[in-house]
């Protein structure tokens, strides 16, 4: 059992996989607090170290967190989550002696498991669960890392009662990620696609595109999407370790990258893999096609002569639990799709990585989910933030991650950093964001307030 002073004993009314998963994340992952559970009243009473009660009934002179039934069930059903406020969270409880007026543990599980996405909901045109359908958006806390906040509340209560409780909080990190939907705007596309590009530009009287394409093909100008060297220089100047996700698939309506057999494209991927982690960007077409997903991962793996373990869904298309089950089946260990296309913020309520919990199977999995905070396309295309306001707009999200010692993940595209056409001025924006992300100037307290 170990030294009782080194760990927290938690008395519970019964064991469950949901409960173990939730406490592991809140206490061990975020705060490094070793803990164990007991059903035994005598063991609990005899325990000399820090302890608490979750669920059941209040016990005099003990720290008690009243509970709803969510963590003790196995089914999936609609729940009345109650109204959110900074002080009450979700799932209100009514035990007058409860250390919190809401069940922070059930609230956490609801957010991390993406419980609401298993319930009937309205999808957007790409089959995605939109931010506007989420409780975080409706209740106005999508911009808050609420799970991290709830963890801090819990630990503050425990430390007030047990000031010698051992803990080790996570440290802030910044991981820039780049999606490569199309490596080059004009280069290496072959005769037919190049001819089609000229015809399209002429039909729309876009003579600037004709001029630009011609100059690039003649070697007089850099391809506007070829920002890879600039990105490498920027990231390396701050000693960052980026992750690049390459669309490596057949050509399709929403999948327009170069041929996977194109030597220049393959050499580019190999070059990027020399200084960054390279993952797969599963095509739009393989969303409901596990066999196609498997082939795309195998093709990229063959190109690099290494196993591909990182992934981010093209168009951020996620369907619970099938998408993640398919990725696990194909050997993916880390997914970076957890975020919304239409809004920035914290889709799962946290700024830390966490294991995917398969609600249908009622079990935690080996797949690690890495949530991102905001995406370039969200800022420009969905929210239409003016260029001179983008940095100020994203700053609170960066500060939120730093405040809770999380991992800031940004989602950008090589096209954006090319700075051509509609992305003019955006390289400077990204440079400022990277500088902010790489800095740890916003101090975070080690102990919770």
| Residue 425 pLDDT | 98
The answer to whether the CB of 315 falls within 8 A of the CB of 339 is: no
| Residue 210 pLDDT | 62
User: If pLDDT is split at 50, 70 and 90, which confidence band does 449 have?
Assistant: very low
Q: What is the CATH number of the domain that holds 329?
A: 3.20.20.370
> Torsions phi, psi of 159, nearest 5?
-70, -30
pLDDT digits (tens, 9 = 90+) for 240-251: 999 999 999 999
Q: Are residues 245 and 392 in the same domain?
A: yes
What is the pTM (predicted TM-score) of this model? 0.94
Q: Which residue has the tokens 């729309």?
A: 204
User: If pLDDT is split at 50, 70 and 90, which confidence band does 2 have?
Assistant: very low
Domain assignment present for residue 446? The answer is: no
Handedness of CA 20, 26, 28, 33 (dihedral sign): negative
Q: DSSP secondary structure string, 268-333? A: HHHHHHTTSEEEE---GGGTT-HHHHHHHHHHHHHHHTS---EE--GGG---TTHHHHHHHHTT--
The answer to whether the CB of 379 falls within 8 A of the CB of 423 is: no
Q: How far apart are CA 275 and CA 270, in angstroms?
A: 9
Q: Are residues 227 and 347 in the same domain?
A: yes
111-125, 379-393, 395-409, 430-444: range with lowest mean pLDDT: 430-444
Neighbours of 179 (CB within 10 A): 27
Domain assignment present for residue 215? The answer is: no
Domain assignment present for residue 299? The answer is: yes
| Domain that residue 294 falls in | 173-185+223-438
* Res. 359: pLDDT tops 60: yes
* Res. 446: pLDDT tops 70: no
> Torsions phi, psi of 297, nearest 5?
-65, -40
Closest C-alpha among 178, 177, 164, 129 to residue 49? 164
Q: How far apart are CA 327 and CA 316, in angstroms?
A: 14
Q: Of 109, 129, 161, which residue is a domain's last?
A: 161
123-127, 206-210, 256-260: range with lowest mean pLDDT: 206-210
The answer to whether the CB of 12 falls within 8 A of the CB of 19 is: yes
82 three-class SS: coil
Q: Are residues 130 and 232 in the same domain?
A: no
Q: Which residue has the tokens 């880390």?
A: 334
Q: Are residues 116 and 180 in the same domain?
A: no
| Residue 198 pLDDT | 58
Q: How many domains does the chain have?
A: 2
Q: Are residues 180 and 123 in the same domain?
A: no
User: If pLDDT is split at 50, 70 and 90, which confidence band does 127 have?
Assistant: very high
pLDDT digits (tens, 9 = 90+) for 53-65: 999 999 999 999 9
| Residue 445 pLDDT | 41
pLDDT digits (tens, 9 = 90+) for 267-295: 999 999 999 999 999 999 999 999 999 99
pLDDT digits (tens, 9 = 90+) for 378-416: 999 999 999 999 999 999 999 999 999 999 999 999 999
Q: Are residues 125 and 227 in the same domain?
A: no
| Residue 71 pLDDT | 98
pLDDT digits (tens, 9 = 90+) for 310-332: 999 999 999 999 999 999 999 99
What is the mean pLDDT of the segment spanning 173-197? 85
Domain assignment present for residue 209? The answer is: no
* Res. 21: pLDDT tops 70: yes
Q: Are residues 426 and 297 in the same domain?
A: yes
| Residue 153 pLDDT | 98
Domain assignment present for residue 216? The answer is: no
The DSSP H or E segment spanning 407 is strand 407-413
Domain assignment present for residue 272? The answer is: yes
Q: Are residues 151 and 231 in the same domain?
A: no
Q: Are residues 102 and 177 in the same domain?
A: no
Q: Are residues 278 and 327 in the same domain?
A: yes
Higher pLDDT, 184 or 84: 184
The answer to whether the CB of 356 falls within 8 A of the CB of 367 is: yes
170 three-class SS: coil
| For the chain, counts of helices (H) and of strands (E) | 16, 13
Higher pLDDT, 211 or 168: 168
| Residue 195 pLDDT | 66
Domain assignment present for residue 318? The answer is: yes
Q: Are residues 129 and 245 in the same domain?
A: no
Q: Are residues 424 and 301 in the same domain?
A: yes
Q: How far apart are CA 31 and CA 171, in angstroms?
A: 10
| Residue 448 pLDDT | 47
What is the mean pLDDT of the segment spanning 290-312? 98
Domain assignment present for residue 198? The answer is: no
Tokens of 180: 């490569």
């Amino acid at each position: 059992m170990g030294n009782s002073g080194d760990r927290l004993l938690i008395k519970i009314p019964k064991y469950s996989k949901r409960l173990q998963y939730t406490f592991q994340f809140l206490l061990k992952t975020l705060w490094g607090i070793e803990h164990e559970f007991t059903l035994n009243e005598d063991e609990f009473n005899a325990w000399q170290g820090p302890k608490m009660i979750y669920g059941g009934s209040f016990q005099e002179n003990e720290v008690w967190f009243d509970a709803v039934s969510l963590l003790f069930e196995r089914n999936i059903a609609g729940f009345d989550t109650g109204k959110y406020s900074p002080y009450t969270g979700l799932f209100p409880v009514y035990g007058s002696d409860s250390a919190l007026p809401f069940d922070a543990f059930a609230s956490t599980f609801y957010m991390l498991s993406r419980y609401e996405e298993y319930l009937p909901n309205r999808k957007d045109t790409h089959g995605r669960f939109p931010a506007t359908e989420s409780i975080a958006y409706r209740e106005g806390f999508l911009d808050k890392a609420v799970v991290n906040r709830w963890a801090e509340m819990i630990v503050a209560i425990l430390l007030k009662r047990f000031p010698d409780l051992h803990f080790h909080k996570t440290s802030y990190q910044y991981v820039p990620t780049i999606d490569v939907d199309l490596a080059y705007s004009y280069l290496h596309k072959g005769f037919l696609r190049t001819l089609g590009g000229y015809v399209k530009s002429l039909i729309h009287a876009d003579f600037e595109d004709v001029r630009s394409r011609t100059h690039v093909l003649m070697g007089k100008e850099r391809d506007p999407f070829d920002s890879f060297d600039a990105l490498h220089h920027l990231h390396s100047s701050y000693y960052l370790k980026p992750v690049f996700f390459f669309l490596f698939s057949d050509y399709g309506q929403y999948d327009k990258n170069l041929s996977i057999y194109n030597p220049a494209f393959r050499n580019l991927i190999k070059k990027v893999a020399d200084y960054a982690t390279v993952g797969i960007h599963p095509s739009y077409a393989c969303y409901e096609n596990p066999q196609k997903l498997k082939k795309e991962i195998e093709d990229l793996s063959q190109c690099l002569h290494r196993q591909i373990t990182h992934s981010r869904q093209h168009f951020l298309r996620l369907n619970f639990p099938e998408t993640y089950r398919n990725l696990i089946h194909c050997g993916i260990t880390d997914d970076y799709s957890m975020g919304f296309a239409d809004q920035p913020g914290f889709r799962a309520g946290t700024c830390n990585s966490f294991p995917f919990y398969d609600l249908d199977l009622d079990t935690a999995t080996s797949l690690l989910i890495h949530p991102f905070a905001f995406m370039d396309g969200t800022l420009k295309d969905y929210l239409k933030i003016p260029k001179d306001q983008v940095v100020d707009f994203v700053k609170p999200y960066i500060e939120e991650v730093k405040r809770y010692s999380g991992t800031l993940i940004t989602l950008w595209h090589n096209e954006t950093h090319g700075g051509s056409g509609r992305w003019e001025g955006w390289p400077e924006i990204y440079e400022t964001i990277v500088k902010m992300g790489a800095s740890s100037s916003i101090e975070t307290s080690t102990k919770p307030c």
